[in-house]
Amino acid sequence: MGFIVKCVLILLVFSFIVYVMKAITRLSAHLRATVKDVKHIRSQGGSRQARVSADMVRCISCGAFVSASDAVTLSSRNRAQVFCSHECLNAHAKSA
């Protein structure tokens, strides 16, 4: 009877060790996938951050700041005037 109990106990311990090792393997695979996803998200965020930090200009009409690529520029008399939108350009033109 003692021999069978020892064999069952050894099998239970071995099964537990195998279960723990499989769990560790699964967790490490999930961790690698998560790290890969985070690196991908950070690389996308870096490009977005570069666009956000573009040159900003101030609208003459309302004083709002807008990126230079989105600004409406009016050149007259060898001078450039920058507006945040066509509405501000029209409002400035009416007031002048």
Q: How many domains does the structure of the chain reveal?
A: 2
Domain identity same for 20 and 48: yes
Is 36 found in the same domain as 68? no
Q: What is the CA radius of gyration of the chain?
A: 33
CB of 83 closer than 8 Å to CB of 59: yes
Whether residues 7 and 50 share a domain: the answer is: yes
Beta partners for residue 65, in sequence order: 58
Structure confidence at residue 5 as a pLDDT band (50, 70, 90):
very high
Query: What pLDDT, on a 0 to 100 scale, did the predictor assign at position 29?
Result: 93
Q: What are phi and psi of 31, to 5 degrees?
A: -65, -45
pLDDT averaged over the chain?
A: 87
- Please indicate, yes or no, whether residues 76 and 60 belong to a single structural domain of this protein: yes
The pLDDT tens digits for 34-77 are: 999 988 888 887 655 555 556 889 998 898 999 888 889 888 78
pTM of the model: 0.43
- Provide the token pair at 67: 């990126």
Q: 18: domain range? A: 1-54
d(CA 17, CA 29): 18
